[in-house]
């Protein structure tokens, strides 16, 4: 029973979404806490509340309306929100994250009702510590931060990008059980180069071009240092930064603090898991695969780097492993003769004739897998897919760009153009496809299979660093949880209904690495798996009065 002298009363309690139970307050609680008359008289169980709420979600006419309804529920009752999401995760994930979250960011000003998280702006130079001090919770363990420059495949959305940290942290709780009060979404608003947004009356961010250069770098340095002081046990996840800043920030801080970039490392991990699983269907050993990427930004290079590390682990030399990874960017095949290559592309610039189109590259290189991380919809054309099918009995096609409108091809297009032989995965969900009497269940290469479990493991061990070894272990763990029944359906990832089990297994492996490598600051528990399970939040109402 809670000490009632420390608890809010009456309307103040009902207006606190972290403590509010709504109609689930008991008769005794209503009397003791000054709630009598402020609620309808019927006392409901959480299960009865769900029976009332769920039809309300389903009755909304569009996914964005469902998203707004769920945001409203979160603003009223955090515990009930997470109970609903956890109990109906497969149904709720596409609403709360990919693909609906992209539209939610675009329409952020319209659907904004109540502030969540923190905004640090370029006007806060010199006082970032004061801004962070305003956050009411001290034991923050996971921060997701964006500057909104490269939101999914939608580009620069400025302060509207706050929908991404909010969505990511929702999945941390729903998929891996991080406590909601230990999660903090942050947007660093340095302006936007999206003139349409700057001129929109609904836009709530700074109406200025993006801050860049030394002033930007100084603000980010101040921010990272202030975060370490305010929340000494936090893991800082960078999300949806532009390519240059994403690579720069990761390289600057990865060996100094507990941090990672999900666009680079999480995407790499889930893709590597998919390749492990696809090899079980195709019969081609992972270490022997030749991969062709469309897109050479943070996601593509991140995948390439982790693939190379994994191949080296299997006995392939570093040079040979890099020779297995080829990239096509906006100017064609990445080759040594090009003089316009950014530094992160140069390790994958091979001694090979220049090729301008993806189709030419597929015809010449005969890759076992094409991996789309370009944000360019429709670029896996029918001729490209047909060429893949001519070269391999089971071609691997990964159209990973988000949201759905940015996918390189649809599941139906992949199966139709390969006579149903493609091993297909996508970033956004696609419905099952029946081709010539056989139903294929597309796999979704969703980072939610990876980052929640990694984060949970880091928190349990209080790891001082987040390493590529942890993401490689996460990929192997995820791939090992793909069943033969999954593969028979063409699905190279397990059902989302199993994601909390996946997260628990990944967290255990990540924490084990932290202890083995001397990165853990928390004492090692006697049973690590049990400690991980015990750390997973369950959305249960507190009891104020017996």
Whole-number pLDDT of residue 2: 65
Whether 537 is catalytic: no
Catalytic residue among 97, 203, 415, 449: 97
List of the chain residues with pLDDT < 70:
1-2
Q: At what angle do helices 78-87 and 46-58 cross, to 10 degrees?
A: 70
Report d(CA 355, CA 332) in Å as an integer: 6
* Rounded CA separation 31/311 (Å): 65
| pTM passes above 0.85 | yes
CA–CA gap between residue 49 and residue 26 (Å, rounded): 14
pLDDT tens digits along 98-127: 899 999 999 998 888 888 999 999 999 999
Q: Do 4-81 and 100-257 show the same overall fold?
A: no
From 168, 345, 406, 504, the catalytic residue = 168
8 is catalytic: no
- Picking from 104, 92, 110, the residue whose alpha carbon sits closest to that of residue 53 is 92
Is 273 in contact with 305 (CB distance < 8 Å)? no
d(CA 242, CA 148): 8
Please give the C-alpha separations between residue 35 and each of 21, 77, 91, 475, 543, in angstroms, as whole numbers: 11, 16, 34, 49, 15
Question: Among 235, 80, 246, which residue's Cα sits nearest to residue 168?
Answer: 235
Check residue 113 and give its pLDDT.
83
CATH number of 4-81: 1.20.1370.30
The domain limits of the chain are: 4-81, 100-257, 265-445, 449-524
Q: C-alpha dihedral over 422, 424, 430, 435, to 10 degrees?
A: 20
Select 100-257's CATH number: 3.40.50.10380, 3.40.50.10190, 3.40.190.10, 3.90.1300.10. 3.40.50.10380
Quick: pLDDT tens for 219-236.
999 999 999 999 999 999
Q: According to the model, what pLDDT value does residue 5 have? A: 72
Q: What is the DSSP string of 266-300?
A: IHHHHHHHHHHHHHHHH---GGG--EEEE--SHHH
How many CB atoms are located within 10 Å of the residue 65 CB?
Answer: 15
Class of domain 265-445: alpha beta
Q: How far apart are CA 241 and CA 161, in angstroms?
A: 10
| 158 secondary structure, DSSP code | G
- What are the distances in angstroms from CA 192 to CA 144, 156, 199, 249, 376? 19, 7, 11, 19, 22
């Amino acid at each position: 029973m809670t000490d009632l002298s420390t608890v809010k009363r009456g309307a103040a309690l009902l207006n606190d979404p972290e403590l509010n139970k709504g109609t689930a307050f008991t008769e005794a609680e209503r009397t003791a806490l000054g709630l009598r008359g402020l609620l309808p008289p019927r006392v409901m169980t959480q299960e009865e509340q769900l029976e009332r709420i769920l039809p309300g979600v389903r009755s909304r006419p569009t996914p964005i309306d469902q998203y707004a309804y769920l945001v409203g529920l979160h603003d009223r009752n955090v515990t009930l929100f997470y109970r609903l999401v956890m109990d109906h995760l497969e149904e709720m994930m596409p609403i709360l994250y990919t693909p609906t979250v992209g539209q939610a960011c675009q329409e952020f000003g319209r659907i904004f009702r109540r502030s969540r998280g923190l905004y640090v702006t370029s006007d806060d130079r010199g006082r970032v510590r004061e801004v962070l001090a305003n956050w009411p919770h001290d034991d923050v363990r996971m921060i997701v931060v964006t500057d909104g420059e490269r939101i999914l495949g939608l580009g620069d959305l400025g302060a509207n990008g706050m929908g991404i940290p909010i969505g990511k942290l929702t999945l941390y709780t729903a998929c891996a059980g991080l406590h909601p009060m230990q999660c903090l979404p942050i947007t660093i608003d340095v302006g936007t180069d999206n003139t349409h947004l700057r001129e929109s009356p609904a836009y709530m961010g700074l109406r200025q071009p993006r801050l860049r250069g030394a002033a930007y770098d100084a603000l980010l340095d101040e921010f990272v240092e202030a975060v370490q002081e305010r929340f000494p046990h936090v893991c800082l996840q960078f999300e949806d930064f532009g390519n240059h800043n994403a690579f720069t920030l990761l390289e600057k801080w990865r060996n100094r603090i507990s941090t990672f970039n999900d666009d680079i490392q999480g995407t790499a991990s889930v893709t590597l898991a998919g390749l492990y699983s696809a090899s079980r269907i195709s019969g081609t050993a992972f270490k022997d695969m030749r991969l062709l990427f469309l897109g050479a930004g943070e996601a593509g290079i991140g995948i390439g780097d982790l693939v190379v590390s994994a191949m080296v682990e299997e006995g392939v030399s570093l040079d040979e492993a890099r020779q297995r990874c080829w990239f096509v960017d906006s100017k064609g095949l990445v080759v040594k003769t090009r003089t316009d290559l950014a530094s992160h592309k140069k390790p994958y610039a091979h001694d090979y004739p220049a090729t301008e189109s993806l189709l030419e590259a597929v015809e010449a290189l005969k890759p076992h897998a094409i991996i789309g991380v370009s944000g360019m919809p429709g670029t896996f054309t029918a001729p490209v897919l047909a060429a893949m099918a001519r070269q391999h009995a089971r071609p691997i096609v990964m159209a990973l760009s988000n949201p759905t409108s940015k996918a390189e091809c649809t599941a139906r297009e992949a199966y139709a153009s390969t006579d149903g032989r493609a091993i297909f995965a996508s970033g956004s969900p696609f419905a099952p496809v029946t081709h010539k009497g056989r139903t294929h269940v597309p796999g979704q290469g969703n980072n939610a299979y990876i980052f929640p479990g990694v984060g949970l493991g880091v928190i349990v061990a209080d790891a001082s660093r987040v390493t590529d070894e942890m993401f490689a272990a996460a990929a192997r763990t995820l791939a090992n949880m793909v069943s033969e029944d999954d593969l028979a359906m063409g699905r190279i990832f397990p059902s989302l209904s199993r994601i909390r089990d996946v997260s628990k297994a990944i967290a255990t492996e990540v924490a084990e690495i932290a202890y083995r490598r001397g990165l853990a600051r928390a004492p090692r528990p006697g049973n690590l798996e049990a400690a991980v399970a015990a750390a997973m939040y369950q959305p249960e109402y507190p009891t104020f009065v017996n």
